[in-house]
Amino acid sequence: MIRTGQGWDLHRLIEGRPLILGGITLPSNKGEDAHSDGDVLIHAIIDALLGALALGDIGDHFPPSDNQWKDADSTILLKQVYSLVRKKGYAISNLDCTIILEKPKLGEYKEKIRNKLAELLELNRDQVSVKAKSSEKVGPVGRNEAVEALAAVLMYD
C-alpha cells in the first residue's frame, strides 16, 4: 500500500529566540516564538507523516498544554513519530519540503538542512528535497514577522 501525507506550519518570528529549521540553527536576530523550539519545518514533516497514516496531528501527540514539550527539541519529536510510523510497517519513499522565509536567505543552508533531515530519517539524500522561497515582501512572512513550512511525504509498506 502507498500512502501520501502533507503538512504545514507557521510560527511568529521574535527577537531573542533561535531560528531553527530542520534541526539546524541559522544565524538570525529573530527566531520562532513557540512552546517547543518552534522548528516549523520539522513540525510540518511530523504532520505529513501522521497525516499519511491518518494518525492525527502534532497537537494530538504533543499537546502545547503539556509542559513536557516546553522548549522541546523538535528532532526528538520527529524521531518519536517516525518510530511510530515504522512500527506501523511503513517506510518513506520520498520527502519534499518548502520553507518560506524572508531572511536570512536560505540558499547556502538548504543542503545542510537536507543532510540533517536525511540523517534524522535514515534516508538517502536523493529521497529528501528542501526548497526555499521568499514571500515577496507580502504578508506576515514577507514582513519577516513569521516563517512557514510545507512538507509532502510518500510512504509504502
Residues that bind Mg ion (CB under 5 A): 9, 43
Beta carbon nearer to Mg ion, 43 or 110: 43
49: which 3 cell numbers?
Answer: 507523516
Q: Residue 30 or 43: which CB sits closer to Mg ion? A: 43
Residue closer to Mg ion by CB (options 76, 127) is 76
- Closest approach, Cβ 32 to Mg ion, in A, equals 8
> At 74, is the secondary structure helix, strand, or coil?
helix
Max intra-chain CA distance, the chain: 45
CB of 153 to Mg ion, least distance (A): 17
Phi, psi (degrees; rounded to nearest 5) at 123: -115, 165
Measured from the CB of residue 1, what is the shortest distance to Mg ion in angstroms?
29
Contact (CB, 8 A) for 132 and 107: yes
- Compare residues 9 and 102 and give the one whose CB is closer to Mg ion: 9
Nearest residue (beta carbon) to Mg ion = 43
Task: Report the alpha-carbon distance of residue 62 to residue 75 in Å, rounded.
Answer: 13
Nearer to Mg ion, 17 or 43 (CB): 43
* Shortest CB 57 distance to Mg ion, Å: 10
CA 108 to chain centre: 18
Q: What are the angstrom distances between the C-alpha of 154 and each of 4, 27, 49, 88, 117? A: 5, 32, 9, 15, 15
Least Å distance between CB 104 and Mg ion? 20
